[in-house]
Structures are given as C-alpha cells and as structure tokens.
Structure 1
C-alpha cells in the first residue's frame, strides 16, 4: 500500500521523483519530500533577517496523492505514514516547537472507495486500513489554516487533522497554512497553553453530554463545543448542505461498534435513541470527532 507525494518546484528546475512508500505494514514515509529539499529547524526562534513563513498548501486527491506547494514548503518535513483502522488516529510524535499536519486518505483507489463521496451521508470508517500521513511544519508564529478556501482556525504549534476518505472520485482537497501572524518579523509569539483537558486520559472511553450543533453553525463554535468535551477533532470537506465555510455536520464516534457515531444534526432529522443533543453517550477518544465543513 502506498501514498504518493508531489512537490511544486520553481519553474526552470527539474523536479526529482521521490515516491513515498509504506513498508512493513506501518513503516515511516521515505525521506525527502520536496524538490527543494525539506529541512525543518529544531528551534522555534527565527532571526530578524531570516525568512518569514508565508504559506504552504497540501493538496490531496481521491487516489491518495499529496502535493506540497507554496513559498514556505521548505519548512515542511515528513513525520511518517501509518495504517489506521476503524476511524482511530495514529499518535504522532510532535515536537513542542512544531506544528503537525495529519492527512487521512486511502492507500489506493478503489471503485467502492471513490464512490463514497457521492452519497448524501458520510460513510462510517472502514475496517480496512486507511493511511495517516503526517508532516511537521516549522513556524514560530501562529498560522491560519483554511480548507478548500474556507478559514478553519488559528494554529499555534498545534495539530490539525484532515480526513479525505469520503472524497468523491476526481475531487481535490486543499489545506492551506498562511502566516505570519502575531508579531513583527524576527519575533516569536508567546504560546498559549490550554490545560483544560490535561486530566483526561484519552486511552479510556468516557461519557459525555452530546452538544447541539445545527447545520450552518460557524466552525469556531462547533470546535469550541467539541474541545469543551476534551475530544480530538478532524476536518472533512463536502459540497452542499449549508452555507459554504460553515458546518454541515459533526460526527462524534461512540464507544462500542466501530460504525456507531452521533450525527449532529442527523441528516434525516431524527436522531437515534441515546444519540441526540443533551443525551449522555459513551465516546471512544481514540477516534477523532469529525467537523464536516461545507465546501
């Protein structure tokens, strides 16, 4: 099983082909990613005369091909690629001074997988292995993440996940990180640390009070409700169903069967017993909640 990586090199320079491969079922992504060479600093400091972080874009297609482009693509380095099943997330190692991007995709195209994005309802995660490919981004300042042109959130040496396993055949998903923000060139920002969930063990299932989320809810509002529950989250992008850039639906994985999740709001308008807003439900923290953003 393999994922493909491409990088946009400056015009006039040949672009070497360096495919990424998975070996041994869960091995790391092979070395060099970017045509210019991808080197990340171990420090979050940047000198006053050093380059500022401008932007970097990750583009994924339904076949698992990943392209990296943008003026700051040399600030990106591979963090590995690992098979994951039943919607679970791989636990990547993220240095405290780096930002982690995790892209979930299929290892290869298949007729049943490529057609999923054309169904009106997001399909549950497959028991077959998807792949999570990680990238570390070296930026000392906060950056703005947007998905398919719609702002998601500001990131400060944090983790952001994007799930493309329900993408329709031929579709592209684009995650863009833009900066700098939060200080003059050559100065780092002070990181704000949220310790609200420091006491929560994400290896143990627990009960939560399911929040109310309406179609068209601002992304920031939905994210805040999930973070108050100390749930990890990932983003997905789907066309239609709400105003572009707002929430189409939130899926919260429930403990027990891997197919079970609370759909907020349910697309057919009727929530199953125990899965409605205000109900207490057992959640599986190893599976991130999904915020579906309208494309």
Structure 2
C-alpha cells in the first residue's frame, strides 16, 4: 500500500487538498446532501452546515495528527497501490452501523489540488475494494483525563483577550457589547463565570470536549439570564496544572465544534441546537 507523500507537510484545508465540486460536477452541497442521506439520521442544521463543518474539521485534525507525527498517513489517509485513489474515515456511520469513508481520486487536470472528491462510501462499496486496509477513525482520546473537568484545578483567564480582542468582542452576547463601562463588563462576566464554576462543581459533565487545532479543550456554558441555552461558551485548555481560558465562542460555534468529537447530549448543548440563533447562524 502507498501513502500520501510526507516530504512536505499536508495541507490542513480540505479544499486545498481536494477539488470538492462545483456546478459543473457534483457540487460540495450535493456531496454533503448525499452524505446526510447515507449517515445515521441526525439533524445537521439548515443547509447541513453542521455536517459540512464536521467533515472539514475532521480532515483538518487528521492532517494535524499526521504532520505532528502522532500517526502515519497510512493510518488515516491511505492510497491504493498505484496512488490513484485515497480515502479517510469520516467517523460517521450508517443506520446499519457501517463506517463511512470520504473517497478521492487523483486529479489528472492541471489544478492546485492533487485530488478530487468522488463521494462518500461504505466499506462494501466497489470503489474501496482496491484498498488493502481501510483507514482508522480519527482518535481524539489520547488522554482520558482531558475529557473530564477536574474541579480541583484552578482557572486562569486572559480577560484582556476575551473581552478586549476585536475577534472575541463580536462573539460576546449583546449585554456585554452594549455596556460601555469596562468595570461593569468585568463584573458581569466574572459574576457569570463564578456561577458557571458552581454548576460545574455540582456536575462536571456540563463541560463538553472539543478539538481545536489538534488539542483537546473543554467547553463550558456561561449564562447572563434565565434560559436553557447559554449566552456564551468558554473554551478551557488544560496546561501546567490549571485550566486556561483565552477565548469564548458563540453558542452556535460551540455546538459545531463539539460535534466533531461526538453528538452532544448535555441539555445546554441541545438547547443551543433548538434555538433560533443556531438556525440563523447556519444560513
């Protein structure tokens, strides 16, 4: 079996790696719709935006794992004997529990991408019979401790970045964006953060794992009012015996990121998916 050449680092962008279709061939939207029909039934949001995000970031994470030497390309992205086809395991299953693979062929046209997406296939598809072995599913569980919040560890917040960086400001809830008094903003945020810590002490399972650039984070909800879905989600990284918070996500962003590892089942994540803001963000 051949593998993807590793003389150079793999691109982590699926659309740089492969031509994924346009109006003249099978479009990206149609590929994703075909996958949504094939996969075990799940609500993927308007225009299947959650599923699109899932496939793109699954590829990104497997490329990062290969580039960092944590796995070989043969494990996650093998090619056929003459290097004309490759595939990766999407981590998704049909309703009959069959794994689903993204299947690519060598791009013989003069194009930036070396490959083009043919579609999504199950293991018994004729196109995949030419592979000596099919790729493994992306494994995020390198250290089980990363998936469980340790309520005994201290938190360290980079509030200057969370509340002052332009990219983060746009993701803050309206109550913080409309408050011009910096002291009041700090009081509101710190008060909501303390409330979140109390909830997590009572139920550490409220923290949901997420993969960001190949590293596991924990997503924790922050409320500024009485409702099911949180107003903001804080991303925590475990570093040197403490949890470090440098950025926050909108609830919709948090759901799409968390779905990369598994379909979220905690109530606050389900409330995000059912909210009007989630549907709007996917349009």
TM-score of the pair, normalised by structure 2: 0.22
Higher share of residues assigned helix: 2
Bigger Rg, which one: 2
Question: Relative to total residues, which structure has the larger strand share, 1 or 2?
Answer: 1
TM-score (ref. length: structure 1): 0.21
